[in-house]
Structure 1
Amino acid sequence: MVRKNFKMFVPRYRTISINGAVLDVDISHDEFVDELIEWVESKGWAFLGLTEEITEEEAKKILMDLFEDEEE
């Protein structure tokens, strides 16, 4: 994994957290992250977080676990 430098910005408006997965990606993880960061920065925003490559089954399980945690 390549360590990337990032700039820390003080939030001026709002912060949005995303829990989910992007399906049917036909590029490498590194290419995906590069495109994601390019898109985020093109909006004048910043990304703070982690990404990882997982299977669709793992993504479904994580989502179901989140729903179960919400019910408790």
Structure 2
Amino acid sequence: MTKDLARQNDLKPMALCEPCQGIQRNWRKAPGHAELVQRGNRKEERDHGTVTITRYVCDRCGTAWEYENDKT
């Protein structure tokens, strides 16, 4: 594979499966879908305190999602 072709492949937008396309972004308590698998969480500091960020990966299309729970 040439460098140009490899770069083009890196820049292609990820193809989301139909359930992932239906995920409502930036909406508190938005539902996910059955094929999202939790892959861990971490805590990060924000101006207003600590938040928990949970990582999910779709088993169908491989898309990685992060959910930030700030409980405010």
Same fold (TM over 0.5): no
> Which one has a larger percent helix, Structure 1 or Structure 2?
1
The alignment's TM-score, normalised by the length of structure 1, stands at 0.27
> Which one has a larger percent strand, Structure 1 or Structure 2?
2
Task: Specify the structure having the higher radius of gyration (Cα).
Answer: 2
Higher relative contact order (CA 8 A, sep 6+): 1
